[in-house]
Amino acid sequence: MRQRTKRLYAALLGTTTLIAGIVTAAASSQAAGTVPVPGDPLTGSGVVSRTVLTYADLTTGSSSGPVDDGAFAIPAAAAAPTHTFQGTVALNGVASSGGFTSLYDPDRYSTIAGWRHMPAMSVQFVQNGSYLIPTARGLTITGSSYWNLIVSPGRAWNETADHGYTRASFPFALVERNQNCVHNGIVTFLFTDTSTTKVRYQVTQETCEYYKFNMWGQVSGSYAKMTIANADTIANAFVTEFNNRLPAKPIAALATDYPASGVNTAVFGSGITAADMTTYGLYYKGVNYVSACGTRYGSYAYCGEMAVPSYSTSKSAMASVGLMYLTQKYGSGVGALLIKNYVSQASSAAGNWSAVTIRNALDMATGNYTSSSFEVDEGGTAMSNFFLAEPYTTKTSDAFVFPYMSTPGTTWVYHSSDTYIATLAMNSYLQSKAGSSADVFNTLRDNVYTPIRLSPDSLATLRTDNSASGKPIGGYGMFWNQDNIAKVAKLLNNDAGKAGTTQLLDPSLLSASMQKNAANRGLVSNDDSADMYNNGFWGRVFTPADSSSYTCTFYVPFMSGYGGITVAMMPNGATYYYFSDNGEFSWNQAISEANKLSPQCG
């Protein structure tokens, strides 16, 4: 799915159902049992010069189109909130009201009403000072035939012109059902302990190559105040999450932090059409240097919380990391296990799976394919059927359709279905060791992602059957934000697969995947770049011919995702990442620019 073809699946889906949790209020902004978030309480005067989303707009006004995203952000003069959310608020009528403008839709999604509207939406929050914390984090399966949902932490504050109400806003993302596209939005409203104003929402940004739109509306909100039994636990867990974030600075701070380097920070993010860039950053020496997050209406108000899709970076960060973890726990033979012994469908499948190992499948070298030309299979009808399939039985059947063509381990042919098959095999193997309820993604969640302190927004994934209990897909389906993707890169590129002193990942597999084993570079891909591919990771070679600043030949392992996603992990310890959606993969200049900070050949 590095450059997956656009696909139409809207016609296969039906009606809309319900979602999951929004907002509430109690009586004080800091409950007795909670620890305050650093930076709270707010100390501003509350005197804010506001011309957009005013008190009048949110009480008696209406929405005629998107507004500047900055109107949803907490202002510098914000005062501490005088009211506290604890409970649920619903956005009434969103499934049939609101505005919509299609911007790019070659597959005609927007001809179906469900793709032009929000799903029914109700979200539950607790509050810690000025922070609104959703009780449900990460991907939420809504039951809608069109959209799933991610809701991330927001803010609450007072402005003097709001007539005693407290103002709230929070970020959310619409996630296409059974797909990895993410469309980012934001919500705001005013509330007291007993009431709420109208609720304004808009969606003005996406990381999705094949479906782009603006969506907006203003609807009544139903407010249900309630006591949430574990509110203090949720509030305090957020404090821990907040404190565990990597130090972050604007990307421009690289030049001031390393003035002698001569680094030109404008190079980072270049080569990608600006309108199609979601966000980018450079992790270096413990600091995450980040860009803003652009929308079609200014900068996103919650850039650090913005959800972005993994697409095929999941092949590296989930499937490959899964094998590294299982190998570290159960021994070096896991990768050599035969697929046929752990995925029953292999015995009756097309092709020949008698000698295909888990490692062969992660290497895209099963020997079962139709065409060895670059992405011909990946972009074909057979693979489209696989992507569209939602039930486990159908998706698995569609993964095993390619004929036998060559000896396993010898020919690289990119198939997202192969990573799915490898993930099924690892899941089955894990169950043979840890019991029938074991799940490879949940195991990674608890034993890798949580120890490296990923936030809850990355701790769920797409699964078969559009169900939280379905099989993890492995080849795509995770979700990142700026902090979480930098932490994954840090684990792989800087921490040698350790969390503190605990070795989480097998050092030998990690070394090969990260192009640190000259005897195991992987297979050469059949794309124009002749990049290597090893255990779910790409690898690119750089020589002095690429830049006069290079004094040696070196390799850069990278994760790559459909539409224009790259996470490049360099020998000098820097990681450059970007998320975009115009099919642009341009990052060689970033490697050269990062060489100014510390030589890649050092």
Please compute the mean of the pLDDT values over residues 109-116 and round it to a whole number: 98
Residue 567 lies inside a defined structural domain of this protein = yes
**pTM of this prediction?**
0.95
Answer yes or no: do 67 and 204 share one domain. Answer: yes
Query: 530 or 4: which carries more pLDDT confidence?
Result: 530
Domain boundary among the residues 243, 277, 296 is at 243
Answer yes or no: do 182 and 303 share one domain. Answer: no
Domain boundary among the residues 413, 439, 458 is at 458
Answer yes or no: do 378 and 501 share one domain. Answer: no
Residue 467 lies inside a defined structural domain of this protein = no
- Count structural domains, the chain: 3
**Token pair 């998320």 in the structure block, residue:** 579
List of residues 6+ apart from 8 with CB closer than 8 A: 107, 108, 109
What spatial distance separates the first Cα and last Cα of the chain, rounded to whole Å? Answer: 34
Contact between residue 563 and residue 582 where contact means Cβ atoms under 8 Å apart: yes
Please compute the mean of the pLDDT values over residues 106-122 and round it to a whole number: 97
Residue 86 φ then ψ, to 5°: -160, 100
Alpha carbons 475 and 463: distance in angstroms, whole number: 11
Q: What is the pLDDT of residue 602?
A: 79
Residue 344 is given by DSSP the state G
Q: What is the pLDDT of residue 31?
A: 62
Structural domain boundaries enclosing 86:
10-243
Q: What is the pLDDT of residue 5?
A: 39
Q: What is the pLDDT of residue 4?
A: 42
Taking the CA atoms of 350, 389, 448 and 343 in sequence, report the sign of the dihedral they define: negative
Task: Say yes or no to pLDDT of 6 above 50.
Answer: no
Contact between residue 205 and residue 276 where contact means Cβ atoms under 8 Å apart: no
Q: What is the pLDDT of residue 29?
A: 55
Using 50, 70 and 90 to split pLDDT, how confident is the model at 169? very high
Answer yes or no: do 70 and 189 share one domain. Answer: yes
Contact between residue 128 and residue 30 where contact means Cβ atoms under 8 Å apart: yes
Amino acid at 503: Q
Task: Say yes or no to pLDDT of 71 above 70.
Answer: yes
Amino acid at 88: T
Structure tokens at 184: 């980012």
The edge-to-edge listing of strands for the beta sheet with 523-524 is 248-250, 287-290, 277-284, 575-580, 565-569, 554-561, 537-542, 532-534, 523-524
Task: Say yes or no to pLDDT of 28 above 50.
Answer: no
pLDDT tens for each residue of 336-372: 999 999 999 999 999 999 999 999 999 999 999 999 9
Residue 280 lies inside a defined structural domain of this protein = yes
Contact between residue 181 and residue 205 where contact means Cβ atoms under 8 Å apart: no
Query: 310 or 223: which carries more pLDDT confidence?
Result: 310
Domain boundary among the residues 228, 243, 258 is at 243
Taking the CA atoms of 458, 464, 470 and 476 in sequence, report the sign of the dihedral they define: negative
Name the percent of the chain lying above pLDDT 90.
92
Alpha carbons 560 and 567: distance in angstroms, whole number: 7
Give the angle 548-549-555 at the CA atoms, nearest 5°. Answer: 100
Answer yes or no: do 156 and 253 share one domain. Answer: no
Residue 120 φ then ψ, to 5°: -55, 135
Structure tokens at 105: 């839709």
Tell me the β-bridge partners of 295.
Answer: 298
Alpha carbons 8 and 388: distance in angstroms, whole number: 8
Alpha carbons 433 and 329: distance in angstroms, whole number: 11
Query: 19 or 108: which carries more pLDDT confidence?
Result: 108
List of residues 6+ apart from 278 with CB closer than 8 A: 205, 206, 207, 293, 294, 306, 308, 578, 579, 580, 581
Residue 556 lies inside a defined structural domain of this protein = yes
Please compute the mean of the pLDDT values over residues 501-517 and round it to a whole number: 98
Residue 3 lies inside a defined structural domain of this protein = no
Q: What radius of gyration do the chain's Cα atoms show?
A: 24
Query: 55 or 4: which carries more pLDDT confidence?
Result: 55
- Work out whether strand 498-499 and strand 502-503 pair parallel, antiparallel, or are unpaired: antiparallel
Give the angle 74-77-79 at the CA atoms, nearest 5°. Answer: 80
**Token pair 């934001």 in the structure block, residue:** 186
Residue 82 lies inside a defined structural domain of this protein = yes
Task: Say yes or no to pLDDT of 479 above 70.
Answer: yes
Task: Say yes or no to pLDDT of 7 above 50.
Answer: no
- Work out whether strand 248-250 and strand 287-290 pair parallel, antiparallel, or are unpaired: parallel
Answer yes or no: do 500 and 431 share one domain. Answer: no
Please compute the mean of the pLDDT values over residues 502-531 and round it to a whole number: 94
Contact between residue 528 and residue 575 where contact means Cβ atoms under 8 Å apart: no
Contact between residue 545 and residue 525 where contact means Cβ atoms under 8 Å apart: no
Residue 431 lies inside a defined structural domain of this protein = yes
Q: What is the pLDDT of residue 32?
A: 63
Query: 431 or 29: which carries more pLDDT confidence?
Result: 431
Answer yes or no: do 424 and 445 share one domain. Answer: yes
Question: CA-based diameter of the chain, in Å?
Answer: 73
Answer yes or no: do 282 and 175 share one domain. Answer: no
List of residues 6+ apart from 370 with CB closer than 8 A: 376, 377, 380, 382, 402, 403, 405
Question: Mean pLDDT over all residues of the chain?
Answer: 94
Answer yes or no: do 169 and 289 share one domain. Answer: no
Q: Nearest-CA neighbor of 520 among 500, 539, 501, 505?
A: 539
**How many helices and strands (H and E) does the chain possess?**
13, 26
Task: Say yes or no to pLDDT of 12 above 90.
Answer: no
Please compute the mean of the pLDDT values over residues 185-200 and round it to a whole number: 95
Alpha carbons 465 and 462: distance in angstroms, whole number: 9
Alpha carbons 175 and 206: distance in angstroms, whole number: 10
Answer yes or no: do 437 and 524 share one domain. Answer: no
CATH classification at residue 432: 3.40.710.10
DSSP output for 478-542 = -EE-HHHHHHHHHHHHTSTTEETTEE-S-HHHHHHHTT--TT---EEPSSTT--EEETTEEEEEE
Task: Say yes or no to pLDDT of 543 above 50.
Answer: yes
pLDDT tens for each residue of 259-288: 999 999 999 999 999 999 999 999 999 999
Burial, 56: exposed, middle or buried (Cβ in 10 Å; 0-12, 13-18, 19+)?
exposed
Q: What is the pLDDT of residue 30?
A: 62
In a 3-state reduction of DSSP, which class is residue 561?
strand
In a 3-state reduction of DSSP, which class is residue 429?
helix
Residue 468 lies inside a defined structural domain of this protein = no
Cis peptide upstream of residue 41 (ω within 30 degrees of 0): yes
Q: Nearest-CA neighbor of 319 among 185, 452, 462?
A: 462
Answer yes or no: do 161 and 135 share one domain. Answer: yes
Task: Say yes or no to pLDDT of 327 above 70.
Answer: yes
Answer yes or no: do 126 and 233 share one domain. Answer: yes
DSSP output for 572-598 = TS-EEEEEESSS----HHHHHHHTTTS
Task: Say yes or no to pLDDT of 27 above 70.
Answer: no
Tell me the β-bridge partners of 479.
Answer: 309
pLDDT tens for each residue of 391-444: 999 999 999 999 999 999 999 999 999 999 999 999 999 999 999 999 999 999
